[in-house]
Structure 1
Amino acid sequence: MSASALLLTACSGGSGGGGPDDPIVIGVSLPLTGDFSEPGKGVQRGYEAWVSAVNENGGLLGREVELRVLDDQSSADRVVQDYEALIAHYEVDLVFGPFSTRLVVPSARVAEEYGMLFVEPAGAAEAVFEQGFENLFYAAPAIAQDHYAHLADHILSLPEDQRPRTVAVASMDDPFAQGTAHGLRDRLAEAGLDIVVDETYPPNTTDFAGIAAKIDDSGADMVIGGTQYQDAVNLIVALRQLNYQPQIAAFSTAPTNPEFPVAIGDRTEGILAPTGYTPDADWPSNVAFVEHYTEMFGGPPAEDEANAYTTGQVVAAAVEAVGCAEQGECQQRLVDWLRENEVDTVVGPLSWDAQGRPQSAHLIQQYVDGEVSIVLPEDTAEAPFVHPKPEW
């Protein structure tokens, strides 16, 4: 591991495990370069905002907090090396999780081996929770398969003459992207809707003409995209070129990206997406978070930043309740406390099952009058659900 890979954020300092006057050192590996570098930097900003806010309010257990960050270069092999180094060599007191399911699973294995509490902001795929991890907690409202729970409930509550009857699904071969799409697909199929197209494509796909043609030929009332960003843009453009006009169109990840309307143009109206966060939420800690984050970075936080900040809140709640923050027996006490308690966060109150799955649901956003607004569930809606979707 090169010295250049090491970044020190917040106050300077060395290894963890110090006395009551020493900082609490938190280690994390993030994809600051490579395929996941953009969201990885967002997670870093969220962690930095949390450290800054905590230190401004007296730290944890009266001690300053220090963040030690390594760049895993978006590599699963590298992330394992990083967490080994953070825990065994640098002897950090606590660890936070990295970005992406592909990096969370191998890093969680390292944390489990060392008996470390492992709260993570971005491993949402069901596969994460099928590994038998006993120390892992996901710091967001719901896992990928449940992201569309509110949308499924709404569709199935519609009168028969308004409900879509046929569904087309196109998903990237990625645990998170497929998880979001297939969770909604399966709910609708169980209720009797007909899945007329169900395609999976490689992550590097750029030509969506063939998939778009299948969807168009099916005449499906609804289209579900298990997408990241560029693939969603390319698929929507291909569907528009064929003048395919669904009643409902839902795509994961991409519509919440600020660049999405720039790429799509003025045809975003009615497009849906799940989100675990909105900066407009009135949770008490969120109001303070948005203000603090905006002051630090010049604009409001997005979902990746919020989930990172939530990770800090979850760990801090356990540390303050248990009264310790170091390697060893303390880690199991932190895990045990989180198993039994609910934590108030910027994404709302969180609690978890035995596998670390959060027991809530994502909000549903939709482009309404050119703006992204929460439309489901109805008791938190900022705008009415638009159905059927206007032509794109």
Structure 2
Amino acid sequence: MTQWNRPALGLAATLTASALALSACSADAGGGGSDDTITIGISLPLTGDFSEPGKGVQRGYEAWAEMVNADGGLLGRQVELTILDDQSSADRVVQDYEALIAQDQVDLVFGPFSTRLVVPSARVAEEYGMLFVEPAGAAAEVFDQGFENLFYAAPAIANDHYNHLAEQILALPEAERPQTVAVAAMDDPFAQGTAYGLRDKLADAGLDVLVDEVYPPNTTDFSSIAAKISDSGADVVIGGTQYQDAVNLIVALQQLDYQPRLAAFSTAPTNPEFSSAIGEQTEGILAPTGYTPEAPWPSNVEFVEHYTETHGNPPAEDEANAFTTGQVVAAAVEAVGCAEQGDCQQQLIDWLRENEVETVVGPLSWDDAGRPQSAHMIQQYVEGDIRIVLPADAAEADFLFPKPTW
């Protein structure tokens, strides 16, 4: 069942046509669902600054619900998703989760996209004692809030995404090692966390940071930042980016004929639209990732097959992290044997604190703050395809250095 323009009670703002409810059952949606359904409330940035990855997360959640329902649901009950559009607004995401939990009385909630939206929505969930598993709040500040209900459904937090790349660079013979770095990061905790994690590890090892720029999330003109980076001649360029900002920055750097020896951008290169957006000059571009469609985990093989059949292409990282969120919550629900507001939520939280969950990104476990205890891989465009190059034991292709010209 799909509903459009579903009202959120008590909100002054009217939900847009992006608000929807997805269900594979025929029962009507009701407060907290019926005996035949488990309702899950979600707010996502389907419009605004984070709409591109937000829609990827939506696709991942929907794929998870479709597969779970086809397999009999959770606890023998069909799953129903209610997805609202927060318009990439922290104020709106708070309103959405207040409405979903307090007015709609959903049984469970899944997290939104972006650290900027995860932190305020996690506060709402904790206020109501709800388990809060989220796919995209990786910045260190998420885990410094003292949340007792939050779990990040990916292998590593933002500051550690580039650990394998830093180790690779610093292991190069001194005569071959890059000497200078330029950084441009969106004013966003996740984007800055990924970029600064790599920047700081290289700086601590003696590389000089020649450019260190921060830009607002809505920036579209990167000519001045690109000029600073090009003029610096830095060996390494690091972009703390989401999607469109990375595309615009890379195009601006290409237009200036700046040729770094190494180029790393968070998030964007893993997007299936990236190659067509910047042209064919992708060779050697790097990005951290917690996911590859080639991973042999049994659930991933099934996920990739279902997703590809539905969408015509394999899932990317945003879709996979959303699917992982569903897997994590489902594991707790099936183990504890309940899925509703109230005492059940604390039982779900306690179970996840003590257990490991098999997912499409591999086995996950968490510390007391909800940090996953694993590591990200490093992908690189090699002969036109993005492939895992680090760590060596997971590599699908050899690490390219220096970066070919673009």
Q: 1:158: how far off?
A: 1.6
C-alpha spacing 1:229/1:42, structure 2 compared with 1 (3 Å): closer
Q: 1:376: how far off?
A: 0.8
Among candidates 123, 136, 149, match of residue 137 of structure 2: 123
Residue 151 (structure 1) aligned with residue 165 (structure 2): yes
Match of 1:95?
Answer: 109
**Residues 368 and 386, structure 1, Cα contact 8 Å, conserved in 2:** yes
- Normalising to structure 2: TM-score of the pair? 0.91
Q: 1:16: how far off?
A: 5.5
Q: Return the alpha-carbon distance in structure 2 between the equivalents of residues 352 and 198 of structure 1.
A: 32
Q: Return the alpha-carbon distance in structure 2 between the equivalents of residues 244 and 36 of structure 1.
A: 28
Residue 356 (structure 1) aligned with residue 339 (structure 2): no
Alignment of 1:178-189 (within 5 A): 178-189=192-203
Match of 1:13?
Answer: 28
Match of 2:294?
Answer: 280
**Residues 98 and 121, structure 1, Cα contact 8 Å, conserved in 2:** yes
Q: 1:248: how far off?
A: 0.9
Among candidates 335, 355, 358, match of residue 341 of structure 1: 355
C-alpha spacing 1:3/1:173, structure 2 compared with 1 (3 Å): closer
Match of 1:67?
Answer: 81
The one-letter code sitting in structure 1 at the alignment partner of 2:344 is: C
**Residues 97 and 120, structure 1, Cα contact 8 Å, conserved in 2:** yes
C-alpha spacing 1:72/1:161, structure 2 compared with 1 (3 Å): same
Instruction: Give the count of matched residue pairs.
Output: 391
The one-letter code sitting in structure 2 at the alignment partner of 1:195 is: V
Q: 1:364: how far off?
A: 0.9
Match of 1:222?
Answer: 236
The one-letter code sitting in structure 2 at the alignment partner of 1:237 is: V
**Residues 13 and 66, structure 1, Cα contact 8 Å, conserved in 2:** no
Residue 233 (structure 1) aligned with residue 251 (structure 2): no
Unaligned stretches of 5+ residues in structure 1: none
Q: Return the alpha-carbon distance in structure 2 between the equivalents of residues 3 and 224 of structure 1.
A: 37
Residue 205 (structure 1) aligned with residue 216 (structure 2): no
Q: Which digits, 9 at most, give the CA deviation of each residue in 1:209-261, with x for residues without a partner?
A: 33233223322221111122232233223323333222111111222223322
Alignment of 1:1-392 (within 5 A): 1=8, 2=14, 6-10=19-23, 11=25, 12-15=27-30, 21-392=35-406
Percentage identity across paired residues of the two chains: 79
Unaligned stretches of 5+ residues in structure 2: 1-7, 9-13
The one-letter code sitting in structure 2 at the alignment partner of 1:376 is: L
**Residues 16 and 24, structure 1, Cα contact 8 Å, conserved in 2:** no
The one-letter code sitting in structure 2 at the alignment partner of 1:45 is: R
Q: Return the alpha-carbon distance in structure 2 between the equivalents of residues 234 and 93 of structure 1.
A: 41
Q: Return the alpha-carbon distance in structure 2 between the equivalents of residues 3 and 211 of structure 1.
A: 37
Q: 1:17: how far off?
A: 5.1
Match of 2:5?
Answer: none
C-alpha spacing 1:299/1:89, structure 2 compared with 1 (3 Å): same
C-alpha spacing 1:75/1:241, structure 2 compared with 1 (3 Å): closer
- Normalising to structure 1: TM-score of the pair? 0.94
The one-letter code sitting in structure 1 at the alignment partner of 2:153 is: A
Range that drifts further, 259-268 or 97-106: 259-268
Q: Which digits, 9 at most, give the CA deviation of each residue in 1:137-186, with x for residues without a partner?
A: 11111111111111111112222222112111111212111111001001
Q: Which digits, 9 at most, give the CA deviation of each residue in 1:2-32, with x for residues without a partner?
A: 576652211243346577x431111111222
Q: Return the alpha-carbon distance in structure 2 between the equivalents of residues 264 and 35 of structure 1.
A: 19
**Residues 16 and 326, structure 1, Cα contact 8 Å, conserved in 2:** no
